[in-house]
Amino acid sequence: MQVQVSHDSAVSVAAGALVVPVFAAEALADAAAELDAVLDGALADVVASGEMSGKANEVALVHAKASPFKRVLLVGLGERSKLTAGALAKYAGTAVRYLGKRGVHEIAIVLPPGVEAGVAASFIAEGALAGTLDTTLYRTEVDKPVVTETVLLVAGNADTAAVEAGVKRGAVIGAAVNAARTMALTPGNDMTPTHLAQRARDLAADAGLAIDVLDEARMRAKGMGSLLGVSRGSDEAATLSVLTYKGDPGSTETLALVGKGLTFDSGGISLKPPENMHEMKYDMSGGAGVIAAMWAIGKLAPKLNVIGLVPSSENLPGPGAMKPGDILKAMNGKTIEVLNTDAEGRLILADALCYAVELGATKIIDAATLTGACVVALGHAASGAMSNDDPFIERFLRVVADCGERYWRLPLYPDFDQQIKSEIADLKNTGGRPGGAETAGAFLKAFVAETPWIHLDVAGTAYLDTESPYMAKGPTGTPVRAFLTIVEDLAAHGFSTNGVASKSGAQGS
């Protein structure tokens, strides 16, 4: 799908349908009022009838055969005073999914007031693209596909350069989000560690990134016994993909993005219950997010050095599988007692985090569908965020607050370090049920040395069981948007967090 900019007036734009925003608890205004006058009060009648209240993502369709736009779709934006930039991605996605499933090939979307034009354009382009993707990748006959091919952003008198730059950025982010979602949707037989590494190669080549894929022999030489321990139960070889973007060659600062790439998780010897085990193809969502974000970084070209690391394995109960009680040794020499083979994501991340440090990362952010405990704590409303560095995570939470993803800080108290101490080894890979998300974070913290680091537990947000008006059910593309937002902030303002007040135990929104 293409997103283009139009400076025609809303009443004269030619398209299969015209999308206009409606705010809750107020009369029609702006473009909606202008159109209502042309349509002899038809839009006001819809509002007066109660069919459209302006609630966020609510829709009402009006036919306008004599007009160049044929139909008008009213889309609710909620209360004007509470409008956020991120809501505009949902506004556009709602329009594309509603109209695209009803045979509309060209849609014109009015740029709402209240958000800086370039920012608004970016979110609208992103949301429009994200709205096109469905979960029907393997269907031979698709029910009601989204057929929209072109979205015209009706920008009015907004600054042309800003809007076009916003559309360009949003189109890249939308494509990256869909790339991550497509990887996550792909079932385990077609998305093995080798396939995931090949996808990383393909996207790296398209974006001009350097890539290195470590095989098991190289991992063994590096002492990555934690990652290799997980792969022992599968016939599929593990991989570690490293994508490199040099946007600021003169700088000694490098951000590492690390993503869990568990392409299928049966739980290993500690076998999961069969119910919903098919969803464990999504256990590589963090890794998919890193690959997709690195592709977008190559396309957007920020002035920053970034490396993306994706450790990938299957976790199966094959003849060579690790067993409860086994001891593994990670790349940094730390020994790990395996108490539960289903706590495997932290094991593959451990070696990847060590390798990020060896490669010179001066800040690290990892993302993983890591714990059910985080879902219990935060539901599907937000991802958990943990860190060993208060200024870094406070900056992160502030910057990504309206990126289209939610994050909430969870503490890493010393108590959690005690919970993962083993009697026989340096660490054990689970601290039990209490504080399960935080003990997983405490485990990962042991592998980043003193490097400022943030851990994102996206277990409750990387995929959803329900369809929304603006996105199909299944993978969401989390954490692609947050990765790109913090990358742009670091590129614009530098790595220093001096001057950011440290508040131990502070929470984010």
Q: How many residues does the chain have?
A: 509
Question: Are 177 and 130 in contact, with CB atoms under 8 Å apart?
Answer: yes
Catalytic residue among 346, 428, 445, 481: 346
Residue 137 contacts residue 186 (beta carbons within 8 Å): yes
Residues 6+ apart with CB under 8 A from 227: 219, 238, 240, 311, 313, 347, 348, 350, 351, 352
Q: What is the largest CA-CA distance in the chain?
A: 79
DSSP string, 377-405: HHTTT-EEEEES-HHHHHHHHHHTTTSS-
CA distances to 36, 160, 427, 456, 489 from 30, in Å: 10, 19, 61, 40, 33
Give which of 74, 95, 53, 73 is closest to 469, Cα–Cα: 95
Determine contact, residues 52/22, Cβ cutoff 8 Å.
yes
Catalytic site residue 82? no
Tokens of 351: 């070696």
Strand pairing category for 210-214 and 239-246: antiparallel
Least Cα distance to 151 among 165, 171, 169 occurs for 171
Q: Do 44 and 78 form a contact (C-beta atoms < 8 A)?
A: no
Q: Is 272 noted as a catalytic residue in this protein?
A: yes
Tokens 């929470």 correspond to what residue? 507
How far is Cα 33 from Cα 276, in angstroms, rounded to an integer? 48
From the list 101, 102, 246, 272, the catalytic residue is 272
246 strand-pairing partners: 305
Alpha carbon distance 63, 65 (integer Å)? 6
As a whole number of angstroms, the distance between CA 212 and CA 235 comes to: 22
Kindly give the pairing relationship between strand 261-265 and strand 255-259: unpaired
- Cβ neighbour number for residue 59 with a 10 Å cutoff: 18
| Distance, C-alpha 295 to centroid of its chain | 13
Q: Is 133 left (phi over 0), alpha (psi -120 to 50) or beta?
A: beta
Catalytic residues: 272, 346
